[in-house]
Amino acid sequence: MQHLGEWLVAAKKLSDADLQRAIQVQKLSGGKLTQILVRLGLVAEKDIAQILVDRFEYRLLTADEYPQEPVLAEDLISKAFMREQHVLPVADDGKTVQVAMLDPSDTFILRALAMATERIIEPVLALSSELENAYERLYGAGAAQREENEALIDSSLSAGVDDVERLRDMASEAPVIRLVNSIFSRALDSRASDIHIEPFEHHLSIRFRIDGVLQEVETPSAQLAPAVISRLKILSKLNIAERRLPQDGRIQLRMQGRPIDLRVSTVPTMHGESVVMRILDKQSINLDLDAIGLSPQILKDFKAVLARPNGIFLVTGPTGSGKTTTLYAALSRLNTIDRKILTVEDPVEYQIEGVNQIQTASKVGLSFASALRSILRQDPDVVMIGEIRDKETAGIAIQAALTGHIVLSTLHTNDAPSAITRLLDMGMEDYLLTSTVNAVMSQRLVRVLCPHCKQPHSMNAEEVANMGVAHMVEADQSVTVYGPTGCDECAHTGYRGRMGIHELLLMNDQVRHQVLQRSSSEQIYRTARENGMLSMFEDGFSKVLAGLTSTAEILRVAQASR
């Protein structure tokens, strides 16, 4: 295992500087290099396991292969030995014992286990976190953990929630630190976008938003809530004594070998403070315009819009529909050495090399409008506004477009034509909109079918016609589409990941005429459709036909757009 560090560096899972740092820690404190790398957050456990599997062809034990009961008598291998050496028997047929290990090449441990059990030892590779969880569940450490939590609950009851110093001490107790760290680690492993921690009368609800859907993962005792929430507030540098007002903060971590940014929001509720954390994982976001799920025709039109020398491009949709990712992908395409790009955001979610990003600060009067007035004097070529919220911001955006700038921004409307009527309602002049707005894109996110378990089924011509998309398939022909099933790869949900479905409204002469006539959003929509605009539902159904998502998903998020 002495070459593991070099293998990780060669695979670009670890930097040479981080390897040297881990080696120094190993020299000072001892222990296995693998554990130190994971403990310092320099490398993900799965990355280490994959290197070992590739190099030595070890079999990696899955989480559901751990036994429900101990497989060997307690007098054969001591619990202390298993804990210290990180080994765990997982199967025994009387002749051969299968043993989960962090290092299956450790011959000393293999010989010791063979002598103690008088059986053939078959080593299998295990992830440290899964091995630790199985050990605690099987050999009583879980009971010890429960006792620690019960002691913590008793102390919290005796101290009272108004004792700020006691809360601070409780937040630093080992059981609370372990629980919070476990929440972060599980959220990353689950690909969660948000963590919701909500105190109720009898329990503390912990839920993850995975692929846009909330799933409950744990329900500790309600008495743990003050300590857990105080721990999160300390990490995000919030005032733990203030429990009457909402607060916003930020936690920066290094976990599984990558930097993680969490945006923290707290609000007071009936039974304590509710905490929601948005996970911003820089490595999980793809800012390549060709890779964000745009259909070929929409992608072609989008690139043509971005190639124009000036004008406004708007992205609309509800919160959590991927608007910011689309704008960042557009910025990445525009981000060339000959352009100066400035953004005003609330908050800055991802930092882009070569882009000057400004975060609004309402406490000191730095709003979207005030920041925009200043940055236009910075001689930008491209301006990105996080959101057009009021008449003043909209007016400055239009003036910027009129003076030769490319302006990108978002609006909260249900479809693309409604963005035009929203700007008119804000007080913008119709002739200014027709001369500055180049295009409006509306989007939603749908879950992607798990490629390992999706199952085909047929839709007959009547079902296709009822969905209003008969023109997209051959007349009177049934079509094959796919639906979710559920397997270990997708946590039995049938879906893994999300992708966008879009509609792109291009500002052509016919649409401009409707805007100048102050037509309704419905009339603008009909005109755009007559000129070839693909509806969001049609774009979604094209992805159903490609086997990427299910009809249930597009009906869930885009039915109103038909």
* Segment 268-310, tens digit of pLDDT: 999 889 999 999 876 667 778 888 889 999 999 999 999 999 9
Query: 54: exposed, middle or buried (C-beta count within 10 Å: 0-12, 13-18, 19+)?
Result: exposed
Check whether 159 has a pLDDT greater than 60. Answer: no
pLDDT-derived band at 142, boundaries 50, 70, 90: very low
- Mean per-residue pLDDT for 513-542? 91
**Could you tell me where the DSSP H helices lie in 60-206?**
79-85, 107-117, 128-138, 141-159, 164-171, 174-189
Check whether 156 has a pLDDT greater than 60. Answer: no
Check whether 553 has a pLDDT greater than 60. Answer: yes
How far separated are the first and last CA of the chain, in Å rounded? 59
Distance CA 397, CA 342 (A): 13
Tell me, what's the pLDDT at 258? 75
Distance CA 196, CA 206 (A): 6
* Segment 16-46, tens digit of pLDDT: 888 888 888 888 777 777 777 877 778 877 8
Tell me what the pLDDT averaged over the chain comes to: 85
Q: How many Å separate Cα 82 from the centre of its chain?
A: 36
Phi, psi (rounded to 5 degrees) for 53: -65, -45
* Segment 171-216, tens digit of pLDDT: 777 778 878 888 888 888 888 999 999 998 888 899 999 988 898 8
Distance CA 179, CA 175 (A): 6
Coil vs helix vs strand at 102: coil
Tell me, what's the pLDDT at 562? 44
Number of H helices, E strands in the chain: 22, 18
Distance CA 358, CA 362 (A): 13
pLDDT-derived band at 162, boundaries 50, 70, 90: low
Predicted TM-score of the model (pTM)? 0.73
